[in-house]
Amino acid sequence: MDIDFDQEIDHRGVNSIKWEFVIGKDGLRYWDLTDPELGDDQVLPMWVADMDFTAAQPIVDVVTRRAARGLYGYASKTDSYLSSVAGWMQRRKNWPIDVEWIVLTPGVVAALHIMVRRFTAPGDKVLIQRPVYHPFTYAIDTNNRQLVSSALLLKGGRYEMDFEDLERKAADPEVKLSILCSPHNPVGRVWTEEELTQYASICSKNDVLVIADEIHSDLIMPGQQFVCYGGLDEQLTHNSVVCTAPSKTFNVAGLQTSNIIVANSELRDELKAELRANGLYGTNPFGLVGTEAAYNEGEPWLEQVIAYIWGNLQYLDSFLKRHVPRLRMIPIEGTYLAWVDCRELGLTDEALDSMMMDHAKVYVDGGHMFGPEGQGFVRMNVACRRQTLEQALARIRQAVSELKAD
C-alpha cells in the first residue's frame, strides 16, 4: 500500500517539542508561533529530529489496542520482543546477535549519560568527533568528565575522520572512552567498513572503550551501505557497546524504548548495575509492543519513507544550487538531517540564527550547537511534507536576497 506522506497533519495539542516548544535561555518553553492559522507569520519547525509523519500503521494499531485495555501497570520485555530486535539486526544490519546481549533503556541519550558515568571516573577524558550531536557534549560535561574532540575534516565537500589526530588523542592514557556517531549526525556520513575498522583498531590498541550510537542506522540513503560497528572483527570490537532504537527509524521517540547491545558480558553487567543504581527498572509498555510491531511489520513503511526523504534531500540540493548558490548542502548519505553550509554569507552565529528564525521564519538548528566546527552551518530536518520544504526554501531564498551586500 502506498503511503501518502504529503497529507497535512495537525501537530498541535500533543505536547510536541518540535511543534509546540522553543528553546530559550532557561530551556524549553511553550509557544504558538507554529500555528498554521498564522499564515505567512507561521514559523516552520525544521529543527529537532522528529519526523512530521504519523508512525507506521502497525505501530498505531498495536499501541491503540494495548491502550484500549486500560492496563498501564509495570511491564517487562518478552521473548517475542527480544526476537524481534535480534531479527531486525540480522535482517537489516547483517549482524547476528544473541538476545542476551540486549539491554533495554528509556532512550539512547539516557544510556549515554549512564555509560559515561559507569565506564569513566570524574576527570577522565572522553573522545568525540565534532561537529557532532550535542547531547554527547552534555553527557560528558554534566558528569564532570573532560571533553576531547578529534574534529572531522571537510575535504572536497565531504567529511572524513582525521585518523592522524584521532590516533594521537586516543593514545593519551587519560582518554578512557570514545563515542562514535554512526551514521554521523549532523554531517550525514555513513562510515565505510575501512573507516570503521581503522577507528576500531586505534581505539582497541589504546584500550579505549567505544560507544557506537547507531540510532540513525536504518535511515540510509540510496547507494549507501551501512556497516554495523558490532559486526566488525570481534578482536577489535570486544570493548564496545552499540546503541540502537526504533525511535528515529519509525518516529516513535516518545515511546522511550532503546536497545543497547553489549556482547561483552562484563560491560553488560556493569551497565545493568548502573541502571539499577539509578532506579531505572521499568519499561514503557507501549514502547514494548510498538517496537515489536515496528521490527516485525514496519519495513514497507520504512522503505517508502526513505524514498520520500531522499526525494526531499534531492529537492533541497537542487533548489540551493539553482536559487541560493551562496548556501550549499553537504551530500547526505544517511539520516534525514540536511547539513547546510552558510559560511559564504559571512554572518555571525547570532546573525545566521536571526536570519533563519526572525526573517525567514524557519526554525532550524544553528551549527554552532554541534561544536565550534559547526559555526556557519545549519541543520535542517527534511522529514516533512514536500510542501513544507518548498515553503521553507522560498522563505530562505527571500531572506538571503535581502541581506545587505558586504
Cβ–Cβ under 8 Å, residues 237 and 209: no
Mean pLDDT, the chain, whole residue set: 96
| Domain containing residue 224: CATH number | 3.40.640.10
Cα gap 393→67, rounded to integer Å:
40
Same domain, 236 and 363: no
Check residue 38 and give left, alpha or beta (phi > 0: left; psi -120 to 50: alpha).
Answer: alpha
- pLDDT tens digits along 238-278: 999 999 999 999 999 999 999 999 999 999 999 999 999 99
pLDDT of residue 36: 87
- Domain extent, residue 352, equals 17-56+299-401
pLDDT range class, residue 406, cuts 50, 70, 90: very low
In a domain, 133, yes or no: yes
Q: What is the pLDDT of residue 122?
A: 97
User: What are the Cα distances from residue 213, in Å, to 27, 157, 244, 261, 290?
Assistant: 25, 24, 7, 11, 21
Helix (H) or strand (E) holding 257: none
Q: Does residue 3 fall inside a structural domain?
A: no
Cα–Cα nearest to 42, from 313, 320, 391, 321: 391
* Closest among 158, 109, 97 to 138, alpha carbons compared: 109
Q: Give the per-residue pLDDT at 375.
A: 98
With beta carbons less than 8 A apart as the criterion, state whether 130 and 374 touch: yes
Are 228 and 96 found together in one domain?
yes
Mean pLDDT of 132-151: 98
CATH of the domain at 333: 3.90.1150.10
pLDDT in tens, 278-334: 998 889 999 999 999 999 999 999 999 999 999 999 999 999 999 999 999 999 999
- Are residue 28 and residue 159 in the same domain, yes or no? no
Last residue of a domain, one of 267, 297, 327: 297
Q: How far is CA 250 from the centre of its chain?
A: 12
What pLDDT does 97 receive? 97
| N residues, the chain | 406
- Shared-domain flag, residues 156 and 127: yes
* pLDDT for res 26: 84
HEC-encoded secondary structure of 278-310: CCCCCCCHHHHHHHHHHHHHCHHHHHHHHHHHH
**Based on the structure, what is the number of domains in the chain?**
2
Burial of 5 (0-12, 13-18, 19+ CB in 10 A): buried
247 lies in some domain: yes
Contact between residue 362 and residue 189 where contact means Cβ atoms under 8 Å apart: no
Q: What is the pLDDT of residues 151-167, one digit of tens each?
A: 999 999 999 999 999 99
Q: Which residue, 255, 275, 297, sits at the end of a domain?
A: 297
Class of residue 126 by CB neighbours under 10 A (exposed 0-12, middle 13-18, buried 19+): buried
**pLDDT for 3:** 95
Residue with cell 539491554: 103
Co-location of 219 and 358 in the same domain: no
Q: Does the residue 333 lie in any domain? A: yes
Same domain, 107 and 28: no
Rounded to an integer, the average pLDDT of 212-232 is 98
User: Parallel, antiparallel, or unpaired: how do β-strands 240-244 and 258-261 relate?
Assistant: antiparallel
Q: Are residues 265 and 333 in the same domain?
A: no
Q: What is the pLDDT of residue 346?
A: 97
Question: Is 9 a domain residue?
Answer: no
**CB-CB contact of 42 with 36 (8 Å):** yes
Residues near 288 by Cβ (< 8 Å), separated by ≥ 6? 75, 76, 77, 78, 81, 257
Q: Which three cell numbers stand for residue 376?
A: 556557519
User: Residue 1 — pLDDT band, cuts 50, 70, 90?
Assistant: confident
* C-alpha grid cell, residue 124: 577522565
Has residue 77 been placed in a domain?
yes
What value does the mean pLDDT take over residues 384-389?
Answer: 98
Kindly tell me if the per-residue pLDDT of 405 is higher than 60. no
Q: Quick one: average pLDDT of 358-375? A: 98
- Assess if residue 217 is contained within a domain: yes
CA–CA distance, 3 with 55 (Å, rounded to integer): 11
Task: Specify whether 122 is located in the same domain as 232.
Answer: yes
Please tell me whether residues 219 and 292 are part of one structural domain.
yes
Give the residue among 386, 392, 384 at the shortest CA–CA distance from 48: 384
pLDDT at 206 over 70: yes
In this structure, how many other beta carbons lie within 10 angstroms of the beta carbon of residue 376? 19
Q: What's the pLDDT tens digit per position in 13-69? A: 999 999 999 988 888 999 999 988 898 899 999 999 999 999 999 999 999 999 999
Count of CB atoms situated within 10 Å of the CB of 72: 11
Residues contacting residue 163 through CB under 8 Å, at least 6 positions apart:
198, 199, 202
Domain boundary among 297, 330, 361: 297
Shared-domain flag, residues 227 and 284:
yes
**Same domain assignment for residues 80 and 135:** yes
Distance, in Å, from the CA atom of 220 to the CA atom of 189, rounded to the nearest integer, reads: 10
- Asked if 292 and 384 sit in the same domain, the reply is no
154 falls within a domain: yes
- Other C-beta atoms within 10 Å of 123: how many? 9
Between β-strands 365-366 and 377-381, what pairing exists: parallel, antiparallel or unpaired?
Answer: antiparallel
